[in-house]
Amino acid sequence: MRGPHNIWRLVRTGATLERTGAMNVVLDAFQAPASLRIVAKTLGWPFKWAGLKGDPSMPPATRALTALGPAYIKFGQILSTRPDVVGDELALQLRVLQDKLPPFTLEEARKTIEAELEIPVDELFSELGPPVAAASIAQVHKGRVAGGDGAVAVKVLRPGIEKAFRKDIDAFYLAAWIVEIFAPGSRRLRPLDVIEHFEGVVRGELDLRLESAAAAEFAANTGKDDGLQVPDVRWLLSSRRVMTLDWADGIPAGDVAAIDAAGHDRRLLGERVLRLFLQHALRDGYFHADMHQGNLKIAPNGDIILLDFGIMGRIDQYTRRVYAEILFGFIRKDFRRVAEVHFEAGYVPADRDVDEFARALRAVGEPIFGMDASRISMGRLLNYLFEVTERFGMETRTELILLQRTMVVVEGVARSLNPHINIWEVARPVVEDYIKESIGPKAFLRDIADTARVAARFGPRLPQLAEELLIQQSDRGPERRRLAGVTPLIWMGIGGGLVAVGVVLGALL
């Protein structure tokens, strides 16, 4: 599936951009240099006839990405939240990709629901209206449960979406392979790993049972968060290709005029979106990883309503601490500490100079402090960051891709609500609270207690492990005597460790 035949898919991508008029729009938005423009035109223009036509009523970029398929649409959704990178005009055009794509028919949706739930639709729902939102992978209908009260949102996967997605991903794999072959300097970015990660994430969106579980877990984690609402899942009306939740009334987060008309404070809303994301990422290690405007509503009381839990991010405790220390260092302008954390976590090769790296980070961080977001060119900032990571040999961390991507998207949403937001000032209290809880004496004692619990689970197996070790020693012949002397030391180490843990636990209790 990932063979050379996908070259045609890539050629058709360039041809579609050219045919729809999107090529110049995209190149202008990214301020592409003359050399890249020449290459793009050379590859796209001769095959213009083979490009997909798309919907002529749409703007060029939206028309091209919609015609190319769901994975391209996902890419456009991300760009739609970054007017500072692609410009206000293109960002506005791409915003329709979030939830205003051409829908499939109500009849097709009814067939999918009946096939999945194995009960006639009229017996399940007393009402099932036309689609109210259509995105790249699924669309949503408003309905009412038969014999029940209150409205529900019924999410249904697009027909044939699984096959279409596989075609896009196959072409992406080929593109990543070509990049690694012909641009060796890009290998540190691990393009194949990035595509593999992206594939795994979006495949999760293609099974709505997993999304239902994600919504339930997220609701359990965030149930006490002020200013946030998460609709409840209707499990008996959900399956692999159908998901039903309670209906949530609110204003789409992208409708700034309606938000203003309702009297909401957009400055507070922008801060709330950013603060909630950081709380979930740092406190829970489990966060909504697709927080574009199409998945956010503003409730009548000003709460943020989160929808669409197909893409969720999870980071372990250690990574959360590293991330928090990096943010905390930037907030305090302690660029030396930020550099040290990168080295300690293995993000930068150990043979590089930590002082030089700290100086490069200062060049990135200093200009943005004391400035509001409207005066910062995120495009130039990202370009400089890329140069820094390339110079110091930093590899792409696949476990951080979703976190980094979501941070970019969330900042874009916050900026759309409040163009003058200062992300560092908003982040400061959240990060400081996490630092107090996770880095310090309390956190140290908690880590010791966690270690003790793990040791206790393995306690009954210690005799077996020791016996296996002795057998391995006896099989090594000449090394037997030397290793036999090590065994008492191993037992002493295990015993000493358990005694230390016991002393600490005794002090805690």
Tell me the catalytic residues: 290
User: Token match 């930093």: residue?
Assistant: 394
- Return the sign of the alpha-carbon dihedral for residues 475, 476, 478, 484: negative
Amino acid identity at 92: L
Amino acid identity at 9: R
User: CA–CA separation, 315 vs 404, rounded Å?
Assistant: 12
Q: Name the token pair of 218.
A: 């997220």
- Please, which residues have CB within 8 angstroms of residue 65's CB and are 6 or more apart in sequence? 22, 72, 73, 75, 76, 94, 97
User: Token match 């210690």: residue?
Assistant: 462
Q: Name the token pair of 121.
A: 């639709």
DSSP class per residue in 150-169? SEEEEEEEPTTHHHHHHHHH
Number of helices followed by number of strands (H, E) in the chain: 25, 10
Q: Name the token pair of 97.
A: 């990709």
User: CA–CA separation, 103 vs 135, rounded Å?
Assistant: 8
User: CA–CA separation, 276 vs 287, rounded Å?
Assistant: 9
303: nearest Cα among 247, 406, 230: 230
Secondary structure element (H or E) that encloses residue 61, with its range: helix 60-68
- Please, which residues have CB within 8 angstroms of residue 419's CB and are 6 or more apart in sequence? 372, 373, 374
User: CA–CA separation, 200 vs 209, rounded Å?
Assistant: 15
Q: Are 91 and 379 in contact (CB under 8 A)?
A: no
Give SS3 for 305. strand
**With 0-12 CB in 10 A as exposed, 13-18 as middle and 19+ as buried, what is 138?**
buried
- Please, which residues have CB within 8 angstroms of residue 235's CB and are 6 or more apart in sequence? 212
User: CA–CA separation, 14 vs 26, rounded Å?
Assistant: 11
User: Token match 């140069």: residue?
Assistant: 387
Q: Note the maximum CA span of the chain.
A: 85
Any bridge partners for residue 298, and if so which?
251, 304
**With 0-12 CB in 10 A as exposed, 13-18 as middle and 19+ as buried, what is 171?**
buried
Q: Are 18 and 51 in contact (CB under 8 A)?
A: yes
Secondary structure element (H or E) that encloses residue 330, with its range: helix 317-331
